[in-house]
Structure 1
Amino acid sequence: MSQFVLKVHSRCDLACDHCYVYEHEDQSWRERPRVMTPAVIAQAAARIAEHAAASGLSTVHVVLHGGEPLLMGLAALGSAIGELRATIEPVAELDLRMQSNGVLLNEELCDLFAMHGVKVGISLDGGRMANDRHRRFPNGASSYGPVLAALQLLRRPEYRASFAGLLCTIDIANDPIEVYEALIAQRPPRIDLLLPHATWERPPPRPDDDPTPYATWLGTIYRRWVQDGKPVPIRMFDSLQSLARGGASGSEALGLDAADVIVIETDGAWEQADSMKTAYHGAPETGYDIFTHTAAQAALHPAIVARFGGLAALCDTCQACPVVAQCGGGLYAHRYRSESKFDNPSVYCADLKGLITIVGKGSPAQATAGSEAADSMPADLLDRMATGYGDAEAVQYLADTQLAFVRALLVAVAADATGSAAEAWKLLGRLEHEAPQAVKTVLTHPYVRAWAVHCLENEGADRDRLACLVAAAAIHGNVAVQVTVPVHDGAIHLPTLGTVRTVTPASGDAVLSVLAGGFTVRSGRSLLAIATDVPTEIWEPAWRVDFDGLRLVVEDSDPYRDCHEWTPGPRLTEAAAKLWTDSAMGAWQDIRRHVPEQVPGMRIGLAAITPLVDSQEGVNRAATSRHAFGALGTTSVGPRDLAVVLVHEFQHSKMGATLDLFDLLDPGYPKRLAVGWRKDPRPAEGVLQGIYAHLGVADIWRARAIAAPDPEAVSYFNIYRDWTTGAIDTLTASGALTQIGQRFVTRMGEVIAQWPMVKC
């Protein structure tokens, strides 16, 4: 336990009709003292210091709360703050904060907070109309003007360090963009968006035509926030993005992290989190107080321990859900139903799933500069990508966001899954916790996303394949489970691992059982035993390249590899596979020698090469798919040509992932544009993709020309450079680019302008 909320004043000068303290089920405030006395404050400080010393805490977090804490007045607040600092700081660093409605804030109070290092959060629900919908004085007068005056004070240079951020309670009747713009206009250091407290007994308002209105509302803000380049951290979005990568939540409302917060009421009672007041009268009570019980004893109260149980404390529905690691079952209080207490999903369950899907599909760019999220977006991600390379951090970010998209797509696929696929979906939730890296290995295989998109675009598609993904993850994680998997044409394909052949009967289901080092497949009366690393007549393991930091699959069997414009080739013979893997290793050496800047990104993101059927004209073919990040299809070529293909096509992959994150182009731009590398005019996105790909190709030919006299290299460099610069000029003048798109393309032009002339 390291976070303590002190309810220093239990009354408020506003009459907000959505307030969980006064307007919801628990009405214990009526029996509390109005103000926390100096004796209670001193004992609270002593208990916190005692706990910090006994637990070895280096930092404790204390929030002065209410009601409205500013109603204490300047002298009493100063005394309380001084007592807390004097008692706690000899033992541990004190992070002291306050949450306020701001209407009483003045210069004297700001001086006090600046002197004692107190950070103040202000509640604001948007612009005047949005804020006044709920946050009014008891006589009905607007609170908006006094709150804006408080914020103006906190933005002053001498008080800016005391500004903790804005807390906004969502009302879907307000326009989300207007709310977002009003909050951003106050230049807060961070924003918290709070779902209005509700339970299954008292559900939130929902318009009839939208089953997930809160996801829709938040998703609208999310997309705008991303488009704006994430000018300020928004904790809900940062938390979801961090959790998608296995990071910390930073919020008790999301994720499975223990929410180690406890409340001390004005009379010294230990209570559970304030949000519990929305459940039922007396819900936050523990029966403990600071005069007779230590913080450690309070932390072991059964009601508090029940909230710290992680996955095991959730209902069966939540435990079986693969997105539970991000959702965490939602806020504990929001699960309440009278007959089953808290053994339920959140009343916002559908909205949380919807928001996770939006964050996955839309862009994360998982966090913004200055965010406190564990994993944040590189502040200059676009500039890094515009160099033509993208360093390791930038490409890792792209790869992580692509994984988040896949997870979101799987949620949508599983929504219509039945039978063995539905059972496998439940099992995936278990594997996420027992073998998370194994699940990640499978879900980052490029053609998993291609399959998921196919399922969502085609009614009656192969959703049963979900079981094959789960089986592959269990094998990677060596988790002893049984999975019912589909058999198609006598084969079972396990993504990233290989294909089981000659299964009889040739269609239907088989039971796959994971064993140490392999697995068995039982179908009908036959039982096949397979060691994953040993090829046999019935087991065709994937062809792998693991060479000098390059790890990828030469993918010749995944049924969803047919997404690269041209026809994929059949299963390779062992001799043909060796030619492909040798060519890949040779190409990798060429890339390392000539364009080492590409290496860190390729090590992270390049995952699969799919051999394509050779063209009858003998022309080399290569392509990527927007739905298969890190994969490319190509006809057979030697190492030198393959090096260029890898650079070219991985540029397309990176560009596609970047476009998943940022709106670089006006989606309504109607015209096609002439480019040097095609006879037919291209849509704006095709031009942007071509610029980025040819930037990389020009660079490798430039490096080759510099490394050794080579007329061919000089010629190709000049061709690709001229194509690229000409297309940059065309696209820049077209009006097709957004503001950030213009910056991105301009930066690419600056990179080329810095290249020295190359002569043979």
Structure 2
Amino acid sequence: MLPEVPDRALTELGRTEGGADTLALLVRDQDTRRMILLRAVLDAAETAEPEVCSDARRTRLRQDWALLAEADRTDRARGRPSSARTRLVHPLTGPWAGRCRRGLRRARTTDPARHELARDLAHFSTLAAVAAARAGIPFSTRLTPRDGLLALPSLGALRTDPDEAAVEAVHDNGVLTLRRSGIRDVVVHLERDTGAWSAASTWTSAYALPGLLPGAQPMPLEDLDPYRVPSSGPGRHALGAAPDDTERKRWLQAWSAVAAVLRTGGEHRLTETLALLRCLVPLESPPGAEGRGSSSATRHEAFGALLSSVPATPVAFAATLVHELQHCKLAALSEMVTLHQADATARYFAPWRPDPRPYDGLLQGAYAHLGLADFFQRRALTQDGDGQRSTSAWIQHARYRAQVGAALPALVGSPHLTVRGRAFVDEMVVAHERMADHPAPRGHTARAQAYVKAARALWIQRHPLATPTNR
């Protein structure tokens, strides 16, 4: 049975906050759902038609599960965190498991789809191998490269020939030997938390940024995992260039001051980042950004992952975290509580988007912008008297607060809200009104309101047939 969400937690989240207990509740629920999804994949494989999942593949999945179970028992017996569970609840395991489940549920499938499913299911072997290696279990197994790359999550990746079918992996006492026919063995030495080093030029180690605070876990920079972006086409989630020291150094520079910046926007922003963020996925910078702009996203099936190009400054990085982690919190809450029963018709005006939005999209956007309005107001108040920095924070706050103010009437007035959904939206209103206690300078507020008014007029001009729900 999934846990209930206490009223106190709903109140905290409605105000874009969340104490340690509330955030832990979201994390536990998401981890449970990830494990249930994995169980569903294995069950679907057992019952799939042979042409969808062969007997040999089913046998291999059972063997991989047995290796994961052994890793789990070994770690627990030694009083260590389970490397198997860590691997299975990792954010990027979610997109992989979702792909597998969708592939296995198809009653009829084409040869290319069967080939793709086979490659996806083979990835389970790499997860099992990594968990077993981290647990210190000796093993020998055969792993399948994908498009010329054998990715071993948290360890690194081996470049192979594009048509190479298998790599033999042998692990003993922290040393992983990767063997291919007619090619010199690649010997890889495991690091403690993330990464593994090798003298071989074909090996690229996984990389992690330092912990956000002293004593915190390192933050993986997932630039090698094959499931880090959707497979349907990169679109705005385009992958960055192949990882190199220069690119990783840019990430380190932006990351190094993020904790201090988050704290200026409220201690709760640092708390939620520590509780929810599990990995960063690099994207390429937007065209024409020239180091100033960035793109970012979260994925519903990859709770705890932030996809982003390198933010230009620590302040931009912190704002990206605040923005995307609000999406993360609301998506997780929405799986536990039915907030509304609105359909997916795109009819609402959102000042931050040129296109009409469905109710859920409006709610998500308003919630994320409410978090940003809170973040920049607290920064402005912290920096009062600091001239340019304070002015910049007030401008950002005024813009975000005005945008949320334009969206709230449609959110509050919807007949599709459930009882708990109405309580949640009411708390958003409380948070928005509370900001009036410390208003931005009048000029910034006036310009922000004029911006929203102009955006609304342009939206009406572009979408004359849209239902004028919140014009």
Q: TM-score, structure 1 length as denominator?
A: 0.49
Determine if the alignment matches structure 1 residue 404 to structure 2 residue 32. Answer: yes
Instruction: Tell me how far apart the structure 2 counterparts of residues 487 and 671 of structure 1 sit (CA, whole Å).
Output: 42
Instruction: Tell me how far apart the structure 1 counterparts of residues 415 and 141 of structure 2 sit (CA, whole Å).
Output: 53
Secondary structure of 2:257's counterpart equals: helix
Correspondence for 2:273 among 590, 602, 619: 602
Instruction: Show CA shifts across 1:629-672 (max 9, x none).
Output: 11121222221111101111111111111111111120546452
Counterpart residue number, 1:707: 382
TM superposition shift of 1:731: 1.1
Change (3 A) 1:487 1:670: closer
Counterpart residue number, 2:126: 468
Letter of the 1:738 partner, please give it.
Answer: T
Change (3 A) 1:513 1:383: farther
1:259-408 aligned at under 5 Å gives the runs 364=2, 366=3, 368=4, 380-408=8-36
Instruction: Tell me how far apart the structure 2 counterparts of residues 408 and 424 of structure 1 sit (CA, whole Å).
Output: 17
Correspondence for 2:405 among 701, 725, 740: 725
Instruction: Tell me how far apart the structure 2 counterparts of residues 591 and 639 of structure 1 sit (CA, whole Å).
Output: 9
1:184-333 aligned at under 5 Å gives the runs 237=1
Determine if the alignment matches structure 1 residue 477 to structure 2 residue 135. Answer: yes
TM superposition shift of 1:551: 3.4
Instruction: Tell me how far apart the structure 1 counterparts of residues 324 and 332 of structure 2 sit (CA, whole Å).
Output: 13
Does structure 2 conserve the Cα–Cα contact (< 8 Å) formed by 1:706 and 1:758? no
Instruction: Tell me how far apart the structure 1 counterparts of residues 217 and 11 of structure 2 sit (CA, whole Å).
Output: 25
Determine if the alignment matches structure 1 residue 577 to structure 2 residue 228. Answer: no
Counterpart residue number, 1:197: none
Instruction: Show CA shifts across 1:429-455 (max 9, x none).
Output: 333332362112212321110111122
Counterpart residue number, 1:521: 178
TM superposition shift of 1:590: 0.7
Letter of the 1:572 partner, please give it.
Answer: P
Counterpart residue number, 1:553: 220
Instruction: Tell me how far apart the structure 2 counterparts of residues 443 and 757 of structure 1 sit (CA, whole Å).
Output: 45
Counterpart residue number, 1:496: 154
1:686-701 aligned at under 5 Å gives the runs 686-701=361-376
Instruction: Show CA shifts across 1:501-537 (max 9, x none).
Output: 23x6843222322222231222335432101232542
Letter of the 1:745 partner, please give it.
Answer: V
Instruction: Tell me how far apart the structure 1 counterparts of residues 130 and 423 of structure 2 sit (CA, whole Å).
Output: 43
Counterpart residue number, 2:110: none
Query: Larger RCO: Structure 1 or Structure 2 (Cα < 8 Å, ≥ 6 residues apart)?
Result: 2
Greater Cα shift, 620-629 or 475-484: 475-484
Change (3 A) 1:528 1:720: same
Change (3 A) 1:634 1:505: closer
Instruction: Tell me how far apart the structure 1 counterparts of residues 11 and 391 of structure 2 sit (CA, whole Å).
Output: 32
Instruction: Show CA shifts across 1:36-75 (max 9, x none).
Output: xxxxxxxxxxxxxxxxxxxxxxxxxxxxxxxxxxxxxxxx
Secondary structure of 2:256's counterpart equals: helix
Change (3 A) 1:468 1:379: farther
Instruction: Show CA shifts across 1:264-288 (max 9, x none).
Output: xxxxxxxxxxxxxxxxxxxxxxxxx
Does structure 1 conserve the Cα–Cα contact (< 8 Å) formed by 2:342 and 2:360? no
Letter of the 2:295 partner, please give it.
Answer: R
Instruction: Tell me how far apart the structure 2 counterparts of residues 721 and 759 of structure 1 sit (CA, whole Å).
Output: 10
Secondary structure of 1:673's counterpart equals: coil
TM superposition shift of 1:692: 1.6
Correspondence for 1:612 among 277, 283, 287: 283
Counterpart residue number, 2:301: 627
Instruction: Tell me how far apart the structure 2 counterparts of residues 486 and 541 of structure 1 sit (CA, whole Å).
Output: 18
Change (3 A) 1:615 1:688: same
1:112-131 aligned at under 5 Å gives the runs none
Determine if the alignment matches structure 1 residue 652 to structure 2 residue 323. Answer: no
Counterpart residue number, 2:438: 757
Instruction: Tell me how far apart the structure 2 counterparts of residues 759 and 515 of structure 1 sit (CA, whole Å).
Output: 62
Instruction: Tell me how far apart the structure 2 counterparts of residues 484 and 660 of structure 1 sit (CA, whole Å).
Output: 37
Instruction: Show CA shifts across 1:302-335 (max 9, x none).
Output: xxxxxxxxxxxxxxxxxxxxxxxxxxxxxxxxxx
Instruction: Tell me how far apart the structure 2 counterparts of residues 571 and 392 of structure 1 sit (CA, whole Å).
Output: 37
Change (3 A) 1:550 1:521: closer
Secondary structure of 1:682's counterpart equals: coil
Greater Cα shift, 421-430 or 702-711: 421-430
Greater Cα shift, 511-520 or 629-638: 511-520
Counterpart residue number, 1:414: 42
Does structure 1 conserve the Cα–Cα contact (< 8 Å) formed by 2:187 and 2:198? no
Instruction: Tell me how far apart the structure 1 counterparts of residues 137 and 6 of structure 2 sit (CA, whole Å).
Output: 35
Letter of the 2:372 partner, please give it.
Answer: V
Correspondence for 1:748 among 398, 418, 428: 428
Change (3 A) 1:582 1:718: same
Instruction: Show CA shifts across 1:318-369 (max 9, x none).
Output: xxxxxxxxxxxxxxxxxxxxxxxxxxxxxxxxxxxxxxxxxxxxxx2x3x4x
Q: RMSD of the alignment, in Å?
A: 2.2
Does structure 1 conserve the Cα–Cα contact (< 8 Å) formed by 2:348 and 2:359? yes
Counterpart residue number, 1:451: 96
Change (3 A) 1:379 1:550: farther
Determine if the alignment matches structure 1 residue 566 to structure 2 residue 211. Answer: no
Does structure 2 conserve the Cα–Cα contact (< 8 Å) formed by 1:550 and 1:588? no
Letter of the 2:218 partner, please give it.
Answer: R
Secondary structure of 2:218's counterpart equals: strand
TM superposition shift of 1:567: 0.8
1:131-146 aligned at under 5 Å gives the runs none
Change (3 A) 1:378 1:482: farther
Greater Cα shift, 652-661 or 585-594: 585-594
Instruction: Show CA shifts across 1:536-594 (max 9, x none).
Output: 42332222122313632111111111138421113221122011022112222211233
Gaps of 5+ in 1: 1-236, 238-363, 369-376
Secondary structure of 2:210's counterpart equals: strand
Counterpart residue number, 1:681: 356
Instruction: Tell me how far apart the structure 1 counterparts of residues 142 and 341 of structure 2 sit (CA, whole Å).
Output: 46
Letter of the 1:600 partner, please give it.
Answer: T
TM superposition shift of 1:743: 0.7
Instruction: Tell me how far apart the structure 1 counterparts of residues 423 and 171 of structure 2 sit (CA, whole Å).
Output: 51
Letter of the 1:692 partner, please give it.
Answer: Y
Change (3 A) 1:723 1:423: same
Instruction: Tell me how far apart the structure 1 counterparts of residues 62 and 342 of structure 2 sit (CA, whole Å).
Output: 37
Counterpart residue number, 1:435: 75
Larger Rg: 1
Instruction: Show CA shifts across 1:652-711 (max 9, x none).
Output: 111111111111120546452112211211111111111221121111111121122422
Instruction: Tell me how far apart the structure 2 counterparts of residues 596 and 590 of structure 1 sit (CA, whole Å).
Output: 10
Q: TM-score, structure 2 length as denominator?
A: 0.77
Letter of the 2:404 partner, please give it.
Answer: T
1:83-102 aligned at under 5 Å gives the runs none
Counterpart residue number, 1:145: none
Instruction: Tell me how far apart the structure 2 counterparts of residues 571 and 699 of structure 1 sit (CA, whole Å).
Output: 36
1:164-175 aligned at under 5 Å gives the runs none
Correspondence for 2:206 among 534, 542, 546: 542
Instruction: Show CA shifts across 1:702-745 (max 9, x none).
Output: 11211224222111101111212322221111223221111111
Identity of aligned residues (%): 26
Letter of the 2:298 partner, please give it.
Answer: T
TM superposition shift of 1:420: 3.1
Letter of the 1:758 partner, please give it.
Answer: P
Which of the pair is proportionally richer in helix?
2
Secondary structure of 1:601's counterpart equals: helix
Change (3 A) 1:726 1:701: same
Runs of 4+ that moved beyond 4 A: none
Instruction: Tell me how far apart the structure 1 counterparts of residues 371 and 332 of structure 2 sit (CA, whole Å).
Output: 16
Counterpart residue number, 1:532: 190
